Structure 1
Amino acid sequence: MTRPLWIVSGLTSLACGIAGIVLPLVPTTPFVLLAAFCFARSSPRLEAWLLNHRSFGPMIENWRRHGGIDRRAKRIAILMMAAAFALSIAMQFPLWVLALQGAVLVAMGAFILTRPDGPPRAR
């Protein structure tokens, strides 16, 4: 009974991650990592497909082996967080919303920046 729930959760997470490729405020990496986690518990075939994907595979492998986030991904994540906060300021959100958003973004940014980069990429 739980296997179908893991598969649905994995597919939903992967869909959100793919949406994050084109939507600037939706993060890709956490959703792809969550999809890999769900597929590892439900579908060896889907997990293998994700691990062998040329874009997602290295990201997942880096996280699983080293707890790392690629330096380029870190830069993009921080830039997107700053852009989201700047947009909130430009849209004149209430001060309490900006304070809450700022606190969450600082915490997320600190987590991202303190993760190791992982091994150097083979060129």
Structure 2
Amino acid sequence: MPTPPRPIRPLWVILGFLLTGIGFVGLILPGFPGTVWFVLAAAAFARGDPRWEAWLLSRPVIGQLVSDYRAGRGMPLRAKWVACVCIVLAVSLSLPRIPVLVGQVTWVILGVVGVLYIVWRIPTKRAE
């Protein structure tokens, strides 16, 4: 991956911290995924400052999740279940708040696409 110009690198680091913060919120809030934000944060840190990327990857649970994703090892089966259930719950609970039928249909389609992506495209990590 090419290194971005020097003036842009601090912006990548700032974005990495913002994404890391959202990821930590995802660890605390039920139904809000955290892993995707950490994966994005690691990518931002890699463009901004590899030392921050190394810091993120050295975190006990987070680093393993990001490393597994990057290596193509996928997600544990339990995590896939949790992610799919969270998507279904989020769509189901928010659907009545969308006043337009087109918006509701679009929201359901996005939820179905998200679940199908997790089920079919992300490999299931087997227990070691």
Give the structure-2-normalised TM-score.
Answer: 0.83
Residue 18 in structure 1 maps to residue 20 in structure 2:
no
Closer, same or farther in 2 for the Cα pair 1:53/1:93, shift >3 Å? same
Per the alignment, residue 64 of structure 2 pairs with 58
Deviates more, 1:6-15 or 1:25-34: 25-34
User: Structure 2, unaligned stretches of length 5 or more?
Assistant: 1-6
Percent identity of the aligned residues?
Answer: 32
Letter in 1 for 2:94: S
Per the alignment, residue 76 of structure 1 pairs with 82
| Deviation string, structure 1 residues 41-99 (Cα, Å, up to 9, x no partner) | 2222211111111110111111111151222221111111111122124x453332221
User: Structure 1, unaligned stretches of length 5 or more?
Assistant: none
The CA RMSD measured in Å over matched residues stands at: 1.7
| Deviation string, structure 1 residues 17-58 (Cα, Å, up to 9, x no partner) | 111122345321111100010111222221111111111011
Deviates more, 1:35-44 or 1:4-13: 35-44
Counterpart-to-counterpart distance in 2, 1:72 and 1:79: 11
Give the structure-1-normalised TM-score.
Answer: 0.86
